[in-house]
Amino acid sequence: MGSFALETDSNGRKHAIEPCLHPCPIERGMRILGGKWKGSILWHLKDGPVRFNDLARQLSGASKKMVSQRLQEMTDVGLVKRRVLSTKPIAVTYEITDFGRTALGFLEALKEWAEKHQL
């Protein structure tokens, strides 16, 4: 991200000099990982595949509907992959992809930052 500068016109209104015309890298990243529960889901998948119900239990406070929606979004962008184990009864696992693993470094940094500042 470049420097940010403003100028004031003759009417006293401020305008950005060279404003961003496209989403910046932070915005693009937040579009992929910024939804509530997405970081936590990736974190819980880091050690191997997890069945849907077990994952939902680990995310106390998130409804199964919310977990399902986030997993679908994350599957669509390639952060996780879904595997059907059986259809009757339905049994599904989710696993982090190589692309999803690329986010673990900054999720670890975020975790450490939150712990350091007692957030």
Second CATH level (architecture) for the domain 5-116: Orthogonal Bundle (1.10)
**Interaxial angle between packed helices 25-33 and 38-45, expressed in degrees from 0 to 180 and rounded to the nearest 10:** 70
Residue 115 or residue 6, greater confidence:
115
Output the average pLDDT for the chain.
91
pLDDT of residue 22: 80
**42-87 pLDDT tens trace:** 999 999 999 999 999 999 889 999 999 999 999 999 999 999 999 9
Q: Where are the domains of the chain?
A: 5-116
Rg (CA), the chain: 20
Where does 37-80 have alpha helices with state H?
38-45, 52-58, 64-76
- pLDDT at residue 3 greater than cutoff 70: no
pTM of model > 0.85:
no
